[in-house]
Amino acid sequence: MFNFEFYNPTKIVFGTDTIAKLDQLVPADARVLILLGGESARKNGTLAEVRAALGAREVHEFNGIEPNPSYETLMGAVELIRKEKLDYLLAVGGGSVIDGTKFVAAAVPFDGEPWDILITHGRNVKAAMPFGTVLTLPATGSEMNEGSVITRKATHSKLAFMSAHVFPQFSILDPTKTLTLPTRQIANGVVDAYVHTIEQYLTYPANGMVQDRFAEGLLLSLIEIGPKVLANPNDYDLRANLMWVATQALNGLIGAGVPQDWSTHMLGHELTALYDIDHARTLAIVLPASLNVRREGKRAKLLQYAERVWNITEGTDDARIDAAIAKTAAFFEAMGIQTRLSDYDLATEAVDAVVNQLEKHGMTQLGEGQDVDLNVSRQILTAAL
Ligand code: NZQ
Ligand code: ZN
């Protein structure tokens, strides 16, 4: 196992009727900005509950953070906070609203052009405003981590930043608030959490016994929960388990002390920025092709994954690896998510376009071995056609 430091200061408040706890979680004298996506939180009553819990505090709203939150939109919130001298942020929504809030929190006190936060991937963040979140979509883990992904529409750049300053102070996870999610978003959440786990597990052996077993537990839970949550959309326990799995998949725990990949995400971000494909769908396109192309470097872990997650024990090594990759793609397809570029009407021009963008963004040495160069990325994308 590698040396590591693990730090996660986010308080989780989990369960039904927990939004009322905002009254104790947000400072009594806070001047609050609630940040929101489109209409969902207003329509399903979540926003009204949040406002009621905040009581007599001064509360402003910033609406319209879009899926794949944009720098262009978020700078409007930065301006509002500076003008109204607000001092506490509350994200109410999915990963996009939370990621957007993290960027705003870091941008307000930032000295200089805030896009530099993304260019340096967060290394130059020295401070951030305090904030909490009310999660409405289990998927990204953003509610309990220090990462954020922001898009600059003008240049089709979707870049991530990380900073310990942008851990949420608290996150409220009330599974009943996810009951209004459309099927498409539930499926996206299952697949995103699955790929987060894979990015931290399916690399090369590092004797992280706890990390491996924990990751396998998350994968097995998602394989069990995924189809059931689609078939039983009103089942509270399924929603609760999905929500907790998705948080655990990317709160730093399973990735501590082990190698991490993340190349599937980096290729996926370019696909979203260029073609506006949902984040999870880009991962479902890239992952099976990537495992296939990179099977030598990942051989030992692929065999472990085949046996412990898919119970595949018969056949040659390569046959077991083939079967595990096929099972992975079939799982995504069973969630209603297609796994080939051609399913999204993309052909070879898209391969060239994504490789060009990867080069422009310096994504030329990706993966746990930093061996996913532009040539390997091209092979992966070509295999995904
Ligand atoms: O905008 P509204 O109207 O709220 O609707 C949203 C949005 O259209 C809707 N929704 C959310 N909660 C709902 C609901 N609809 C009905 N009922 C509810 N309870 O769902 C749609 C998608 O929301 P979004 O926040 O975009 O989805 P998700 O949580 O999947 O977030 C995706 C973003 O997170 C980034 C992705 O790149 C993408 O930009 N990621 C962030 C990560 C992180 N910070 O650690 C890691 C991930 O890998 C990922 O990259
Ligand atoms: Zn993701």
Q: What is the pLDDT of residues 193-238, one digit of tens each?
A: 999 999 999 999 999 999 999 999 999 999 999 999 999 999 999 9
Q: Please report the pLDDT score of residue 176 as a whole number.
A: 98
Ligand 1 pocket residue status of 247, Cβ below 6 Å:
no
Region 141-145: mean pLDDT is 98
For residue 366, the CA-to-ligand 1 centroid distance in Å is 25
Counting ligands in written order, the one closest to the CA of 99 is 1
Task: Give 112-126 pLDDT, tens digit per residue.
Answer: 999 999 999 999 999
What is the DSSP annotation of 152-201? EGGGTEEEEEE-GGGS-SEEEE-GGGGTT--HHHHHHHHHHHHHHHHHHH
Q: What type of residue sits at position 204?
A: Y
- Residue identifier of the C-alpha nearest atom 20 of ligand 1: 185
Q: What is the pLDDT of residues 270-321, one digit of tens each?
A: 999 999 999 999 999 999 999 999 999 999 999 999 999 999 999 999 999 9
Atom of ligand 1 nearest to the CA of 269: 37
pLDDT interval class at 102 (50, 70, 90): very high
Calculate mean pLDDT across residues 159-177: 98
Binning pLDDT at 50, 70 and 90, where does residue 169 land? very high
Mean pLDDT, rounded, for 131-150: 98
Topology alike, domains 11-177 and 183-383:
no
pLDDT value at residue 299: 98
| pLDDT bracket for residue 78 (50, 70, 90) | very high
Ligand 1 atom with the shortest distance to the CA of 67: 26
Q: Is the ipTM of this complex over 0.90?
A: yes
Determine the distance separating the centroid of ligand 1 and the alpha carbon of 279, expressed in angstroms. 9
Q: Percent of the chain having pLDDT more than 70?
A: 100
CA distance 329 to 240: 25
| Separation of CA 100 and ligand 1 centre (Å) | 10
Q: Which residue's CA lies nearest to atom 41 of ligand 1?
A: 140
Q: What is the mean pLDDT of residues 75-80?
A: 98
Q: What is the DSSP letter of 5?
A: -
* Residue 141 tokens, joined: 């883990």
pLDDT score at 195: 99
Q: What does pLDDT average to over the chain?
A: 98
Three-class SS state of 204 = coil
CB-CB contact of 364 with 373 (8 Å) = yes
Q: Which secondary structure element, helix H or strand E, spans residue 149, and what is its range?
A: strand 147-152
288 Cβ closer than 6 Å to some ligand 1 atom: no
Query: Using a 6 Å cutoff on CB, does residue 219 contact ligand 1?
Result: no
- Is the CB–ligand 1 distance for residue 357 below 6 Å? no
Give residue-wise pLDDT tens across range 38-54.
999 999 999 999 999 99
Cα 240 from Cα 231, distance rounded (Å): 15
Record: fold of 11-177: Rossmann fold (3.40.50)
Query: Cβ(37) to ligand 1 under 6 A?
Result: yes
Q: Is 178 in the pocket of ligand 1 (CB under 6 A)?
A: yes
Return the domain boundaries, the chain.
11-177, 183-383
Ligand 1 touching residue 239 (CB < 6 A)? no
Instruction: Give residue for tokens 């092979």.
Output: 379
Distance CA 349, CA 382 (A): 10
Beta-strand pair 170-173/131-135: parallel
pLDDT of amino acid 76: 98
Interval 168-174 mean pLDDT? 99
Closest-lying ligand 1 atom to the alpha carbon of residue 37: 1
Q: What is the pLDDT of residue 208?
A: 98
Helical (H) or strand (E) element with 60: strand 58-62
Digit-coded pLDDT (tens) for 17-44:
999 999 999 999 999 999 999 999 999 9
Task: Please tell me the distance between residue 120's alpha carbon and the centre of ligand 1 in angstroms.
Answer: 24
Ligand nearest to the CA of 166: 1
Task: Report the pLDDT averaged over residues 325-334.
Answer: 98
Average pLDDT over residues 84-88: 98
193 Cα: distance to centroid of ligand 2 (angstroms): 7
Mean pLDDT of 340-348: 98
Domain 183-383 -> CATH class? mainly alpha
